[in-house]
Structure 1
Amino acid sequence: MNQQVFRFAPSPNGLLHLGHAYSALLNDRMARESGGRFLVRIEDTDETRCKPEFTAMIFEDLEWLGLRWEQPVRIQSEHFDDYVANLMALWSVGALYPCFCSRKIAAAHALQSFDPDGQPHYGGTCRALPRELAEKRISDGAVHGWRLNMARLGDQEASVWGDAVIAKRHVGSSYHIAVVTDDALQKVTHIVRGKDMEAATSMHKVLQRLLELPTPNYTHHPLITDESGQKLSKSLKSTALRHLRNGGVTPADIRRRLGFD
Structure 2
Amino acid sequence: MRVTRFAPSPTGPLHLGHAFSALTAAARAQGGTFLLRIEDIDRQRSKPEWERRIHDDLRWLGLAWPEPVLRQSERLPAYRAALERLWAEGLLYPCHCNRRDILDAASAPQEGGPRLGLDGVIYPGICRGHDRSGPLPADVPLRLDLARAAARLRDPLRWTETGEEAGERKIATDTLIDSIGDPVLARRGMGTSYHLAVVIDDAAQGITEAVRGRDLIEATPLHVLLQRLLGLRVPDYHHHRLIRDETGRRLAKRDDARAIRLYRDGGATPADIRRMIGL
TM-score, normalising length: structure 2: 0.84
Letter in 2 for 1:13: T
Give distance in 1, aligned partners of 2:187 and 2:104.
18
Q: Which residue does 1:194 correspond to in 2?
A: 213
- Give 1:240 deviation, angstroms: 0.2
Give distance in 2, aligned partners of 1:21 and 1:119.
27
- Tell me, yes or no, if structure 1 residue 110 matches structure 2 residue 106: yes
Paired residue secondary structure (2:5):
strand
- Tell me, yes or no, if structure 1 residue 153 matches structure 2 residue 154: no
Q: Which residue does 1:18 correspond to in 2?
A: 16
Give distance in 2, aligned partners of 1:102 and 1:198.
26
Paired residue secondary structure (2:77):
helix
Give distance in 2, aligned partners of 1:253 and 1:136.
55
Q: Which residue does 2:164 correspond to in 1?
A: none
Q: Which residue does 1:75 correspond to in 2?
A: 71
Task: Give the % identical residues.
Answer: 48
- Tell me, yes or no, if structure 1 residue 55 matches structure 2 residue 51: yes
Give distance in 1, aligned partners of 2:28 and 2:135.
50
Give distance in 1, aligned partners of 2:278 and 2:125.
47
Give distance in 1, aligned partners of 2:123 and 2:207.
32
State which drifts further: 68-77 or 96-105: 96-105
**Moved segments of 4+, more than 6 Å:** none
- Tell me, yes or no, if structure 1 residue 130 matches structure 2 residue 126: no
Q: Which residue does 1:241 correspond to in 2?
A: 260
- Give 1:103 deviation, angstroms: 4.1
Paired residue secondary structure (2:198):
helix
Paired residue secondary structure (1:123):
coil
Cα contact 1:157–1:202 (8 A) shared by 2? no
Give distance in 2, aligned partners of 1:254 and 1:179.
28
Aligned length: 251
Give distance in 2, aligned partners of 1:184 and 1:136.
26
Q: 2:195 aligns with which of 171, 176, 187?
A: 176
Give distance in 2, aligned partners of 1:194 and 1:204.
15
Unpaired runs of 5+ residues, structure 2, are 108-112, 151-172
Unpaired runs of 5+ residues, structure 1, are none
Output the aligned Cα RMSD: 1.9
Give distance in 2, aligned partners of 1:109 and 1:144.
21
Cα contact 2:106–2:115 (8 A) shared by 1? no
User: Residues 25-73 of structure 1, C-alpha deviation per residue, up to 9 Å, x if partnerless?
Assistant: 11111111xx110000000111121111111110010011010011110
